[in-house]
């Protein structure tokens, strides 16, 4: 840990990490984390809120630990708060402040987040292990969402009768499906036991990350991989190797949740960056899904500008999905594989519903062809004033009506970049979900 005086704030690095405020005593007064150490610590002194005013005048020394990512900062902050119990962290603690991750002790452990680790869950006679405390629910939720891609886990309170969306997205091993399929055949009991053990191993790995960070787990995984390779179980070794690669990628990822330094008004940044005529309050995102031209569907997701409350006390806005206004379209007019024609059909059908509020901005997934298709359709239907943007995945460039040259996604402000990527991912997820529903004949539009 490095230290400096309050007069040396400009020497703090602009990277993720954990900071500790010290007064005259050896124990820290307060511990916090940030994606930008310099900006966050400066805010405590230059823009103090009512909580800061209780202790900021007592700070004589600042300790800080630079890290590679927000995930590491989240985990280390939790470890240090648990170890030192800083006076003002404890003072500020209430049911809406600290978070814990719960793991039920059963064959297929359930993972969930709670404010109250000692609260008994109604009608659930299970032992539960809690890991925490964590500060900031958004950061914790985003972290678990990312880790779930590597170590899929169950979140449902009771096993449903059929697999849910998380199974479709490969985020849950679907114990409901496994139990049903394998219990019916006694000869497959060994396979059932094996899959339970594999799942329990994944849960154990998730616990290690949340308790101790990446180093111990990666060390354990490397030993496991070497053991598999030694026994010539190369398929299992490759699977573990992929987990190691994914973990290292996650822990070097700098943008997991909105950084404090970028906690500006997302609407204002979007307007300025894309040179839009006004701040978009409603954005619609579109995507097409099919397999070789069969069961073609289109998705429409809606993001709205919402009020949020930042850590420094400022009222800001960010874009959040409004799922009750999502729409699905089964392609009716297009024959064969033609994403551009499908997109034109979806936009035309969407614009034929004046009872749905029109968007201030349209996002479409794809390159110049998709962009031109939507722009032409808007012009033909008398809606040419609605701005359009389109993201070409491979080159990460953004087409829009204002700029002559496409914009580089990486050159845009982080909040704008994150908003666009969230639109892309959500439109894609929703399209695939509907497509799979149609294929399984469980849903008819």
Q: What's the pLDDT at 255?
A: 43
Q: Which residue, of 148, 181, 212, is where some domain finishes?
A: 212
> For residues 281 and 189, what is the distance between their CA atoms, to the nearest angstrom?
54
- Candidate from 62-66, 115-119, 354-358, 409-413 with smallest mean pLDDT: 115-119
Reference 214, options 227, 205, 201; nearest CA is: 205
> For residues 362 and 399, what is the distance between their CA atoms, to the nearest angstrom?
12
> Do 204 and 329 belong to one domain?
no
Q: What's the pLDDT at 378?
A: 92
> Do 283 and 429 belong to one domain?
yes
Q: How confident is the model at residue 63 (pLDDT cuts 50, 70, 90)?
A: very high
Q: What's the pLDDT at 190?
A: 73
> Do 199 and 106 belong to one domain?
yes
Are the C-beta atoms of 318 and 306 separated by less than 8 Å? Answer: yes
Are the C-beta atoms of 6 and 55 separated by less than 8 Å? Answer: no
Q: Using alpha carbons, list the distances in angstroms from residue 17 to 4, 40, 413.
A: 15, 10, 21
> For residues 418 and 428, what is the distance between their CA atoms, to the nearest angstrom?
15
Task: Specify if 33 maps to a domain.
Answer: no
> Do 283 and 408 belong to one domain?
yes
The CA-CA-CA angle for residues 336, 337, 341, to 5°, reads: 95
Are the C-beta atoms of 331 and 445 separated by less than 8 Å? Answer: no
Q: How confident is the model at residue 191 (pLDDT cuts 50, 70, 90)?
A: confident
pLDDT, average across residues 229-237: 79
Q: What percent of the chain has pLDDT over 70?
A: 84
pLDDT higher than 50, residue 256 = no
pLDDT higher than 50, residue 270 = yes
Task: Specify if 329 maps to a domain.
Answer: yes
Which tops the pLDDT comparison, 309 or 290?
A: 290
Q: How confident is the model at residue 145 (pLDDT cuts 50, 70, 90)?
A: confident
> Do 395 and 267 belong to one domain?
yes
Q: How confident is the model at residue 11 (pLDDT cuts 50, 70, 90)?
A: very high
Task: Specify if 42 maps to a domain.
Answer: no
> Do 123 and 271 belong to one domain?
no
pLDDT, average across residues 336-345: 85
> Do 271 and 407 belong to one domain?
yes
Range of the domain at 144: 98-212
Domain total of the chain: 2
Task: Specify if 238 maps to a domain.
Answer: no
Q: What's the pLDDT at 413?
A: 80
Q: How confident is the model at residue 284 (pLDDT cuts 50, 70, 90)?
A: very high
Q: What's the pLDDT at 264?
A: 56
How many CB atoms are located within 10 Å of the residue 393 CB? 12
Beginning with the edge strand found earlier in the chain, give each strand of the sheet holding 111-114 in spatial order.
111-114, 98-104, 128-135
- Candidate from 11-20, 75-84, 235-244, 352-361 with smallest mean pLDDT: 235-244
Paired tokens of 27: 């124990």
> Do 298 and 177 belong to one domain?
no
> Do 330 and 413 belong to one domain?
yes
Q: How confident is the model at residue 309 (pLDDT cuts 50, 70, 90)?
A: very low
Reference 32, options 69, 68, 86, 109; nearest CA is: 86
Paired tokens of 80: 């240090």
> For residues 256 and 239, what is the distance between their CA atoms, to the nearest angstrom?
25
Task: Return mean pLDDT, the chain.
Answer: 82
User: Residue 134: how many CA atoms within 13 Å on its side-chain side?
Assistant: 27
pLDDT, average across residues 401-406: 74
Q: Length of the chain, please?
A: 445
- Candidate from 218-232, 258-272, 430-444 with smallest mean pLDDT: 430-444
> Do 318 and 416 belong to one domain?
yes
Give residue-wise pLDDT tens across range 26-54. 999 999 998 889 989 999 998 888 788 88
> Do 322 and 433 belong to one domain?
yes
Give residue-wise pLDDT tens across range 155-184. 988 888 777 778 777 788 888 877 666 655
Task: Specify if 275 maps to a domain.
Answer: yes
Are the C-beta atoms of 261 and 36 separated by less than 8 Å? Answer: yes
pLDDT higher than 90, residue 359 = yes
Task: Specify if 32 maps to a domain.
Answer: no
SS (H, E, C) the chain: CEEECHHHHHHCCCCCEEEEEECCCCCEEEEEEECCHHHHHHHHHHCCCCCHHHCHHHCCEEEEEECCCHHHHHHHHHHHHHHHCCHHHHHHCCCCCEEEEEEECCCCCEEEEECCCCCCCCCCCCCEEEEEEEECHHHHHHHHHHHHHHCCCECCCCCCCCCCHHHHCCCCCCHHHHHHHHHCCHHHHHHHHHHHHHHHHHHHHHHHHHHHCHHHHHHHHHHHHHHHHHCCCHHHHHHHHHHHHHHHHHCCCCCCCCCHHHCCCHHHHHHHHHCCCCCCCEEEEEEEEEECCEEEEEEEEEEEEEEEECCCCCEEEEEEECHHHCEEEECCCCCCCCHHHHHHHHHHHHHCCCCCCCCCEEEEECCHHHHHHHHHHHHHCCCCCCCEEEEECCCCEEEECCCCCCEEHHHCCHHHHHHHHHHHHHHHHHHHHHHHHHHCCCCCC
> Do 416 and 338 belong to one domain?
yes
Q: Which residue, of 212, 231, 255, is where some domain finishes?
A: 212
> For residues 107 and 198, what is the distance between their CA atoms, to the nearest angstrom?
11
pLDDT, average across residues 113-138: 74
Q: What's the pLDDT at 443?
A: 39
pLDDT, average across residues 266-282: 90
Paired tokens of 99: 């978070």
CATH number at residue 274: 3.30.420.340
Q: Which residue, of 172, 190, 212, is where some domain finishes?
A: 212
Q: What's the pLDDT at 347?
A: 93
> For residues 251 and 143, what is the distance between their CA atoms, to the nearest angstrom?
10
Task: Specify if 375 maps to a domain.
Answer: yes
Q: What's the pLDDT at 179?
A: 67
pLDDT, average across residues 87-99: 68
Task: Specify if 102 maps to a domain.
Answer: yes
pLDDT higher than 70, residue 440 = no
pLDDT higher than 70, residue 96 = no
Q: What's the pLDDT at 312?
A: 40
Are the C-beta atoms of 209 and 221 separated by less than 8 Å? Answer: no
Which is it for the CA torsion 357, 361, 366, 371, positive or negative? positive
The CA-CA-CA angle for residues 105, 106, 112, to 5°, reads: 60
How many CB atoms are located within 10 Å of the residue 161 CB? 7
């Amino acid at each position: 840990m490095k230290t400096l005086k309050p007069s040396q704030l400009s020497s703090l690095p602009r990277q993720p990490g954990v900071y500790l405020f010290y007064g005259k005593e050896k124990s820290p007064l307060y511990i916090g984390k940030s994606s930008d150490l310099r900006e966050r610590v400066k805010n405590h002194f230059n823009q103090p809120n009512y909580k800061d005013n209780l202790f900021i005048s007592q700070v004589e020394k600042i300790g800080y630990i630079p890290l590679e990512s927000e995930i590491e900062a989240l985990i280390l902050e939790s470890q240090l708060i648990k170890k030192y119990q800083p006076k003002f962290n404890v003072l500020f603690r209430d049911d809406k402040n600290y978070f814990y991750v719960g793991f039920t002790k059963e064959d297929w452990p359930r993972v969930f987040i709670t404010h109250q680790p000692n609260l008994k869950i109604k009608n659930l006679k299970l032992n539960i292990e809690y890991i925490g405390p964590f500060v900031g629910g958004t950061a914790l939720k985003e972290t678990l969402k990312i880790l779930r891609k590597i170590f899929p886990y169950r979140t449902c309170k009771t096993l449903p009768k059929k697999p849910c969306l998380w199974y479709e997205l490969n985020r849950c091993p679907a114990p409901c499906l496994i139990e049903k399929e394998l219990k019916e055949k006694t000869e497959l009991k060994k396979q059932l036991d094996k899959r339970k053990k594999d799942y329990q191993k994944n849960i154990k790995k998730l616990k290690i990350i949340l308790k101790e960070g990446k180093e111990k787990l990666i060390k354990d995984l490397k030993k496991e991989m070497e053991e598999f390779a030694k026994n010539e179980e190369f398929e299992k070794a490759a699977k573990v190797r992929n987990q190691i690669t994914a973990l290292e990628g996650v822990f070097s990822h700098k943008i997991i949740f909105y950084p404090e330094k970028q906690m500006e008004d997302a609407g204002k940044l979007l307007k300025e960056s894309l040179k839009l005529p006004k701040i978009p309050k409603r954005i619609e995102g579109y995507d097409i899904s099919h397999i070789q031209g069969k069961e073609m569907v289109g998705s429409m997701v809606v993001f709205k500008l919402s009020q949020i409350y930042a850590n420094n006390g400022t009222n800001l806005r960010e874009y959040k999905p409004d799922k009750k206004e999502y729409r699905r379209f089964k392609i009716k007019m297009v024959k064969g594989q033609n994403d551009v024609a499908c997109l034109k059909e979806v936009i035309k059908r969407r614009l034929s519903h004046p009872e749905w509020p029109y968007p201030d901005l349209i996002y479409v997934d794809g390159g110049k062809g998709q962009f031109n298709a939507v722009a032409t359709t808007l012009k033909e239907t008398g809606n040419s004033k609605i701005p359009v943007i389109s993201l070409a995945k491979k080159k990460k460039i953004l087409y829009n009506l204002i700029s002559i040259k496409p914009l580089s996604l990486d050159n845009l402000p982080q909040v704008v970049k994150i908003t666009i990527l969230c639109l892309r991912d959500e439109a894609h997820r929703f399209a695939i979900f509907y497509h799979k529903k149609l294929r399984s004949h469980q849903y008819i539009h």
